[in-house]
Amino acid sequence: MLNIIGKRMIEHPEAAITLTGCNDNIGAEKGNRKLSTARAEAVRDYLQTGWNIAPDRILIEARNLPKMPSTSRLEEGQADNRRVEITSENPAILDLVRSTYFATRIDAPALTLKPVVTAPHGVAVGRLPLPTTGRNWVSRQAKACPRRRSKCR
């Protein structure tokens, strides 16, 4: 998700975000806004180092429970409350993530795969698991690729 935010911030250089670190406000985390701040700073650091987002485009805030907390009665709810919330005035930054999945059925009696691996440091072992009908799996082992060759077949 952070990579999507980073990419969108690159695409929209005028956009800024607010990172609000939160905690579950129970036990050692109760009232620990420094922990909440550290969570938000970790996300900021990732966006700055991984995506080169300027620091002045990222505002850090901290709170105990999130704005809309999950139930604290369940461990899952407590874990969900330990998060960083991302807000932005620019709707493009937080727009829906669209993804396309597809499946292809092949009814041929045989299927030949010829993967090409580019590995500058060589490949000792390669495995390609292949789902088959039912719950059985077929796995094929690839031969070693010496380091002096950049492409293995």
Q: What is the pLDDT of residue 131?
A: 62
For the beta carbon of residue 53, count every other beta carbon within 10 angstroms: 21
Of 85, 5, 98, which Cα lies nearest the Cα of 48?
5
Q: What is the pLDDT along the chain (153 residues), one digit of tens a residue?
A: 999 999 999 999 999 999 999 999 999 999 999 999 999 999 999 999 999 999 999 999 999 999 999 998 899 999 999 999 999 999 999 999 887 776 777 677 766 767 677 777 766 666 666 666 665 555 556 555 555 544 555
Strand ranges in the chain using DSSP code E only, listed in sequence order: 17-21, 58-62, 84-88, 117-118, 126-131, 137-142, 151-152
Measured between alpha carbons, how far is 16 from 90 in angstroms, rounded to an integer?
7
Q: Which residues pair with 141 in a beta bridge?
A: 127
Q: Residue 8: what pLDDT?
A: 96
